[in-house]
Amino acid sequence: MVSGTTLHQLRQQLAEGVPPGRGDEDSVRRQWWAALATLQEDFLLPLQPLTGVWIASPLPALYEPELLRQLQGWVWTPAEVGTLLEHPAPLLPGGLGGTARPAAASPSHFERLILEPDDGTDPFLLLFTPQLQLAMALEGEPQRRRLVLRFDPATLTEALRLVDERLQSRSPEAARRLRGALQGLGALRSEEKTALTFWPRLGERLAAMAPSVTLQPVVRADTRRDGEREAEPSSEQARGELALLEALTHEVRTPLATIRTLIRLLLRRSDLPEAVRQRLEQIDGECSEQIDRFGLIFHAAELQRRPRPRQDLARTDLAALLSQLQPLWERQLGRRGLLLRLEIEPQLPPVMSDPSLLETMLGGLIDRFTRSLPSGAAVLIRLQPAGSRLKLQLSCVDPPNEEVAAQPAQAAVGPVLSWDPLTGSLQLSHRATQRLFHSLGGRLTERAGQGLTVFFPLASATAWPEA
């Protein structure tokens, strides 16, 4: 069967019946990223365990590693990428010329297909799971761009028909595997209320992504009347700042996650020059650090804006977690010329915490503590018992000079951030860090010149009162 089906036709089919757009490129790209985040964070990640199929172009669209591992995918990418995809270790699964390898050959569970000139490069995503099916695309002429979201079975069925036509004419084996994967999902359940839920969630996320920032002046000392205090931001203004901060952290994390995914795919090549591999690993590490860092800022802002009771905690082997993370921290600190020493007393009991978030939180604590340390300093992490708790202490040992013993004063920037005048970097404020650790069962103390200390309740001990 010969067919001239293009991906441009697929996007037009998805947009059929949708009112013309009025957006520019920047605005629809923001809508696209917000829709991807809403789909993954609010709808897919809660569906565990998850099975399904996705079809996308010109990148996988999905960026959450857990989803890329669980779902089977097909992605059309530009032919120019093919120069990086030569045997024996391609950047993306699949060979050249539109022939895809079986998904089982790819740890990421997706196959690569070739994007042709008349396909266009606007992104689209088709997703099919037993509980959720949808199509997303950007479409339209300049200044008349629009985000298209379709949930109705008729449109999705027609989209699959066009995809099948395209694959049958260019990659019959891929068409056969896609049909098999869809059949393996069993009966699909289309929920009409999905669209009613998705659009409000997307609207909330977009509303938080303010297009501009209005600076609110405060009353300075030389303009205040006697006895008048400096103006404090109103609660409404503070909520607005926190919502904006959440949006900005999301805007940073999302493209970084996509970059990290592509870097890790490239690192699968066995013929990379060692210097190139080292550079790519460095980029991967930097992306991971910043993703975790901005993830903590997002979590802190959310906790400040929508306070909630301490989450459910579980028995956590803190000693094993620290030992597991030691090589990663050594590499991270080594890039900044810092040394790490880890001292853990033997046979320590488990504590009560949330191990999934605690790992990121501990990394953020080390970043906060070491951000202003000069090259050559050594960081000591010590874990030891302290009555009904375990004490985790961070301190600077063997400093190059005496000046690093005391941390510089931090300047507050909004409700959850502080500014380090020594490095010029933004980081979580002391109060926000305390609040985060408290939600994880810990209690943070910080004293100038004495480092940082976090106390965790033992799993066998009675939880201590809320602070």
Q: Terminus-to-terminus CA distance in the chain, angstroms?
A: 70
DSSP 292: H
The number of beta carbons lying within 10 Å of the beta carbon of residue 288 is 18
Residue 350 has pLDDT above 50, yes or no: yes
CB atoms within 10 A of CB 205: 21
- Tens of pLDDT, residue by residue over 54-71, are 999 988 888 787 888 899
Mention every residue, 6+ apart, whose C-beta is less than 8 A from residue 97. 114
Residue 341, exposed/middle/buried by CB under 10 A (0-12, 13-18, 19+)? middle
Q: Is the CATH number of domain 314-457 3.30.565.10?
A: yes
- Taking the C-alpha atoms of residue 460 and residue 277, their distance in angstroms, rounded to an integer, is 46
* Residue 243, CB-side half-sphere exposure with 13 Å CA sphere: 16
- pLDDT, residue 399, reads 64
CB 379 within 8 A of CB 414: no
The mean pLDDT value of the chain amounts to 78
Write out pLDDT tens, residues 288-297.
Answer: 888 888 888 8
Element (H, E) at 56: strand 53-57
**Residue 249 pLDDT more than 60?**
yes
Using DSSP, state whether 454 is helix, strand or coil.
strand
Query: Per-residue pLDDT for 177 more than 70?
Result: yes
Beta bridge partners of 303: none
What are the pLDDT digits (tens) for 373-428?
888 899 999 999 998 899 999 998 876 554 444 455 566 777 788 776 665 677 78
Residue 409 has what pLDDT?
59
Q: Where are the domains of the chain?
A: 7-206, 236-308, 314-457
Q: For tokens 């569970």, what's the residue?
A: 109
How many CB atoms within 10 Å of residue 260? 20
Token pair of 423, please?
């490095």
CA distance linking residue 68 with residue 59, whole number of Å:
12
Place of tokens 């695309």: 137
Whole-model pTM? 0.51
CB of 87 closer than 8 Å to CB of 37:
no
123 pLDDT more than 60: yes
Place of tokens 């503590």: 369
Residue 50: CB atoms within 10 Å:
17
**Rounded Cα distance, 409 and 160, in Å:** 59
Distance of CA 342 to the CA centre of its chain: 28
**Going by C-beta distance under 8 Å and a sequence separation of 6 or more, which residues neighbour residue 108?**
68, 69, 93, 265
Residue 423 · residue 372 · CB < 8 Å: yes
Q: How far apart are CA 282 and CA 267, in angstroms?
A: 11
CA–CA distance, 414 with 232 (Å, rounded to integer):
11
**pLDDT level of residue 361 (50, 70, 90 thresholds):** confident
Buried-state track 372-409, b at ≥16 Cβ within 10 A, e below 16: bbeeebbbbbbbeeeeebbebbbbbeeeeeeebeebee
- The residue with tokens 């950007």 is 138
User: Listing from the earlier edge strand, what are the strands of the sheet with 443-447?
Assistant: 339-344, 378-386, 389-397, 451-457, 443-447
Q: Is the pLDDT of residue 231 over 50?
A: no
As a whole number of angstroms, the distance between CA 451 and CA 394 comes to: 6
Confidence of residue 322 (pLDDT cuts 50, 70, 90): very high
Q: Does residue 247 register a pLDDT over 60?
A: yes
pLDDT of residue 253: 77
Spatial CA neighbour of 142 closest among 21, 30, 58: 21
CA atoms of 53 and 163, how far apart (whole Å): 13
d(CA 297, CA 247): 11
**DSSP H/E element including 366:** helix 355-370
